[in-house]
Structure 1
Amino acid sequence: MPRSGPVHKVVEPTEQSQQSDMPYNPQAPRRGASAQEVVEGFLAAGVGAQDDYSVARQYLTPQLATTWKPDARVLIHSGDPTTVPRLDEGEFRTSTEVSAELGPNGVFTAQPEGSTRVLDFELTSVDGQWRISKAPDGVLIPEKDFPQIFSPVELYYYSAQDEKSLVPDPRWFAKRPTASTAAVRALMSGPAPYLGDAVASAIPQSASLSRSSVPVSGGTAAVDLSVSGYDPADVDQARRMEQQLRATLRSVPSVEDINLTVNDAPVEPTARSGSDPVRSMTVPNRQIGVSDNRLAFYQGGQTEQIPDITLPEGATVTKPGMGAEATSFGFVDSADSSLYTVAPGKQPQRRWSGSRLTRPSFDPQGWVWGSDHSGTVRTVEASSTGEGTTVSADWLRDKHVASLRISREGGRALLVTTAENSPRATIWIAGVVRDGSGKPVELEKGNAVAADVDVNTAQWIGSDEFVTTALDRDSNAQPRRYTVAGHFDDLPSLTGVTSIAGGNGPAAVYGASDGRLYMLTGSSWALQSEDVTDTSFAG
């Protein structure tokens, strides 16, 4: 047994730990390296997460090696870090440009172009070799290497409104055997701040892991919880905890099933009976669009104007939307810069006005949402009369909202904002907070999924995916398919796109251009109709 040297954490052996997925093996400190070379070597070793960053810890003094927390922060840098000596001997400062940052619980936050971070280091001599005695917690990862070193895991919480649907809370964890443990610990710590009161957890705050890890064997993760005050006869709570943990851990590579024990008692299979929570709500295949300045349905190549709809006199119909039941509709009248809701056999209701109004978004709780160039978020109950009310969202002050879409379970808002005199945009996801009656009252401060991107609209295509593009450009627009974790793939370009609509998954993406409607088919856009344009799916 060693009697000196740093203390290292030992992870319980699992099937996963037999071989590491980490593709990088950084170099250990070179004997006789200069102080600056030690700092640069330490930063480069941040790509080696295996064995709890054992190589990076070799650059630290024995004391710091035991207290340094590599998982506290991950800076994803887009340029080469620059390290320079400071006035005092053994002190160095590193500056680097970052494109994104991971917090201590793996929440990915995109950073605006030109964002920088400054890291300060102090070094001392240990047995004649320079070692770092003071360093900030966290690691640096090159942007190009990040997807190979980290992978996204979707934690799942229940929608706070009805607790019948599961809401994804994406996190990024290093590809190492402890990913299952990190996911469960993060789940028990609660949702990301931008979801806040929009979601709820079935796992009590008093819960803790009975042992130090969540081992995986044969594709099954063993989760042993200790919960004070737990009632084994409460089958419903056991079922909801198991469902939440199962949904979360199945997004961890190699995990296919879970075994849950609470206070050393296994959760019996009978506790899993009953209806499963909805993980991904779908929308009807029928779209709403504009045909001859009238609201019209479009589906399967057929266009049909919606009967018995009364429009305001002299209205110019743009940006239509509808509820999932296709009995209530909304649109922006560009003639008077107002948003209206309409229903068959009823008079149109003027809800609000503003500059550059967003397309109305209908949530499953019966509320219609919208915003404008001022950044004010408004909502109104579709079945009511009169003007809408303002939803609290102080963090949007000084931002121009170009697009706002409510998720299909109603717990999140997907927003695109721009700054004054800048064509570049930021894509946000923010939790929807409601009062006891279900009325929306606040948008939690959003988390940036992408920053400095050339888009002005985003449309959901599922619970954890959306598509974006830039509208009303003479040149080709570059649509993209994003995950809520921040990963994206480029889609085929479309010239002069004026609207984009997202249905159920990437096979149901439609774009309008030059008065024609196209559907995304593999690597191209196929013409669908010349009778309808500006379409949108329900929601």
Structure 2
Amino acid sequence: MGADREGARRRTPARAVAYVACGGVLLAGCASMPDSGGLRGVESTPRLDSQVRVFAMPPAEDATPPQIVQGFLEALTSDDPHYKTARQYLTPETARTWRPELSTTVLMDGPGAEADSHAARQDAGEFSFTLTGTKVATVDAHQSYAPATGPYGGTVHLKQDKKSKQWRIDALPQGVVMGRTDFQRNYMSVSKYYFASNTGAARGNAEPMAVADPVYVRKRVDPLTQIVRSLLDGPTSRLAPVVRTSFPAGTALREGVGSLTPDDRSRLTVPLNDRAAAVGRSRCEEMAAQLLFTLRNLTPAVEEIDLRAGGGSLCSLAESRVESVASRGETRHPDYLYFVDAEHRLVRIAPGSGATKPDPVPGALGADGPDLRSVAVSRDEHTAAGVTLDGRALYVGSMVLGGELGEAVLTSGGGGEEDRLTAPSWDAQDDLWVADRDPGNPRLLLLEGGRGEPLQVRTPGIDGRIQAVRVAADGVRIALVVEKGDKRSLVVGLIERAEEPGRRPTVTVVEPRSVAPELEQVTAMSWAGDSRLVVVGREHGGVEQMRYVQVDGSTPDVPAPAALTGVKDVTASGDERLPLVAYSVDGIVRLPSGAQWQKVTEGTAPVYPG
């Protein structure tokens, strides 16, 4: 750690050792801790190469109370797997009861520390410090990230051993606390995968639908084994209401298993306890699919899972077969990019090519239908939906030659164009979602199969009027732009379905969470992967920007898209090989990987299927 306020001086007692492949480097301490009085910041450790491992040093002989607290905070940011060095700064009893795994509090800067003037005097053998800072996020015991705001405060109390005269911490908050830079250096986001409980096989389809559940694990502390254990522990509390796992209750790694490592053929053997010993082959392959989806982007690569329990092999599943066992909604490569041309008709263009001349889609929406301002295409690319230019009516039609359009499936009674229907969105079950912005009757609506009487979706906890709707490919998450007063926020909720025989389902959006709270004016957004969105907006007093955001509210470790002005719509594919596409003041533009924005053609409202 280092002084995060300019000019704060370095102190020598805080230190950590960083090891690299070619040798060791001693890092000087960075925390600035007063003996008494004023508050000083504790800066995060400067960014290090990803191969560098940082280990804290134990307390020095006769270290003062400020040096003990400083060294302890330094040790929290090290790569010590079990915080053994950090515990050396604690009294034996406190070391036994301190549980760092309960939570991680992330601060804007490193924690500051202020000597407590009301505490007992140092010469009486006791001393206290108050840790302070501004909260950015918290990570709970299930490794789930959540944005946080407001001040942080925690008390660290020290006692001097009467015999040895050494100072040690005897009371402190549970969990760990660190600055944002240290958090980014120490932790990484990994998505573990479960299966939707209200889609896929759960509703009669052949294959279960995989759902990403992002968590944060320590980057250089055997992340592969960490994430396997986390997967077996079950989904985070936020996602649990809408997903299931194929692992039997109580399944864990076999007792005594340490680190998991793939062999030289990239096959990972996972020994499980006897709770999994009786599963059949089909269920076992679903378990292996969860592991393959989860470990897909880790290093070293895993290309095959071998599950073992009860003294023998349960099943093996190779990466090449995983898509035959379970589906991931964002893995399908779309055939086309769709948008509305200058004649207000639905057109399409091959997304991965350099083509700039679009073709009309087959069917009425691409020929003689009504003038359109927004569209959505089903994920199988067989059906399209379009909202009329005035926002009043929603039409649905098949994309086949000669297909007839029929009557509007929905109309809005809103008085102005901006008080009527939003752009529609198709979910994984080919149901169509749209919001009616009529101030007198604002509603989120669902049309089963894209037709019939609209079903009003319950939205408890959503405070404001919905201005945009996008349903995730997994079928259990929905992204909404919600307007309240002069602010438009991006909210992600979960889709709960309750079905009873002979009755229409009850659909509810639950657990809504703001995932980009720093943006006060969100103007456009789209799903950009299993657990990621691309969003356009601006902060208070700031300029328009485009960025990626995770469904848990964290910022993914990927570069933000190149700057683009005047963005009105944006769309992304789960297939990362395809370009980001936007509608801006320049018309339809695309952003190929590693390039700058390029104009495609004139038009509006670009969408990939979904």
- TM-score over 0.5 (shorter chain): yes
Q: 1:401 to 1:133 in 2, by over 3 A?
A: farther
Aligned equivalent of 1:83, options 92, 95, 113: 113
Q: 1:318 to 1:168 in 2, by over 3 A?
A: same
1:187 and 2:221 are equivalent in the alignment: no
1:493 and 2:560 are equivalent in the alignment: no
What do the CA deviations read for 1:255-286 (whole angstroms, capped 9, x no partner)?
Answer: 52443212222224489978232234325232
1:431 and 2:494 are equivalent in the alignment: yes
**SS of 1:182's equivalent?**
helix
1:173 and 2:245 are equivalent in the alignment: no
**SS of 2:300's equivalent?**
coil
Correspondence 1:8-407 to 2 at 5 A: 23-84=53-114, 85=116, 87-89=118-120, 90-111=127-148, 114-126=149-161, 127-160=164-197, 161-163=199-201, 164=207, 165-217=209-261, 218=263, 220-228=267-275, 230-231=277-278, 234-256=280-302, 257-269=304-316, 275-279=324-328, 280-282=330-332, 284-292=334-342, 294-299=344-349, 300-306=355-361, 309=364, 317-333=372-388, 335=390, 338=392, 340-343=394-397, 344-345=403-404, 346-350=406-410, 355=419, 358-371=422-435, 377-386=444-453, 388-396=454-462, 398-407=463-472
Unaligned runs of 5+ in 1: 1-18
> How far off is 1:167 after superposition?
1.6
Q: 1:269 to 1:207 in 2, by over 3 A?
A: closer
Counterpart of 1:282, as a letter, is: R
Q: Distance in 2 between matches of 1:96 and 1:325?
A: 50
Counterpart of 1:267, as a letter, is: L
Q: 1:187 to 1:65 in 2, by over 3 A?
A: same
What do the CA deviations read for 1:11-67 (whole angstroms, capped 9, x no partner)?
Answer: xxxxxxxx9966333343344444344334322321013141122112111111122
Partner of 2:508: 442
| Contact 2:395–2:407 under 8 Å retained in 1 | no
Counterpart of 1:261, as a letter, is: R
**SS of 2:486's equivalent?**
coil
**SS of 1:156's equivalent?**
strand
Partner of 1:457: 524
| Contact 2:109–2:133 under 8 Å retained in 1 | yes
What do the CA deviations read for 1:457-489 (whole angstroms, capped 9, x no partner)?
Answer: 221233244322239xxx974322445563142
**SS of 2:229's equivalent?**
helix
Q: Distance in 2 between matches of 1:44 and 1:514?
A: 49
> How far off is 1:449 after superposition?
4.3
> How far off is 1:293 after superposition?
5.4
What do the CA deviations read for 1:71-124 (whole angstroms, capped 9, x no partner)?
Answer: 21112211342322162323332121122221112112223xx53322122222
Partner of 2:583: 512
> How far off is 1:363 after superposition?
0.8
Q: 1:229 to 1:29 in 2, by over 3 A?
A: closer
| Contact 1:492–1:524 under 8 Å retained in 2 | yes
> How far off is 1:372 after superposition?
6.5
> How far off is 1:426 after superposition?
4.4
> How far off is 1:189 after superposition?
2.1
What do the CA deviations read for 1:329-367 (whole angstroms, capped 9, x no partner)?
Answer: 3344463x5461322521112155664754211012121
> How far off is 1:310 after superposition?
7.5
> How far off is 1:452 after superposition?
0.8
Q: 1:376 to 1:418 in 2, by over 3 A?
A: same
Counterpart of 1:421, as a letter, is: D
**SS of 2:410's equivalent?**
strand
| Contact 1:123–1:133 under 8 Å retained in 2 | yes
Partner of 1:525: 597
| Contact 1:331–1:341 under 8 Å retained in 2 | yes
Q: 1:242 to 1:229 in 2, by over 3 A?
A: closer
Counterpart of 1:162, as a letter, is: G
Counterpart of 1:262, as a letter, is: A
| Contact 2:192–2:214 under 8 Å retained in 1 | yes
> How far off is 1:529 after superposition?
0.8
> How far off is 1:207 after superposition?
1.7
TM-score by length of 1: 0.83
Q: 1:282 to 1:477 in 2, by over 3 A?
A: farther
Partner of 1:14: none
Counterpart of 2:219, as a letter, is: K
Q: Distance in 1 between matches of 2:411 and 2:213?
A: 33
Q: 1:270 to 1:319 in 2, by over 3 A?
A: closer
Q: 1:462 to 1:433 in 2, by over 3 A?
A: same
Q: Distance in 1 between matches of 2:572 and 2:58?
A: 49
1:412 and 2:462 are equivalent in the alignment: no
Q: 1:118 to 1:426 in 2, by over 3 A?
A: farther
| Contact 2:432–2:450 under 8 Å retained in 1 | no
**SS of 1:242's equivalent?**
helix
Q: 1:356 to 1:457 in 2, by over 3 A?
A: farther
What do the CA deviations read for 1:181-227 (whole angstroms, capped 9, x no partner)?
Answer: 32222212221223223221100113232224452344554422124
| Contact 1:108–1:449 under 8 Å retained in 2 | no
User: Percent of aligned pairs with the same residue?
Assistant: 22
Q: Distance in 1 between matches of 2:243 and 2:327?
A: 14
RMSD (Å) for aligned C-alpha atoms = 3.4
Q: Please say which structure displays the higher CA radius of gyration.
A: 2
Q: Distance in 1 between matches of 2:550 and 2:313?
A: 35
Q: Distance in 1 between matches of 2:153 and 2:56?
A: 23
Q: Distance in 2 between matches of 1:327 and 1:169?
A: 30
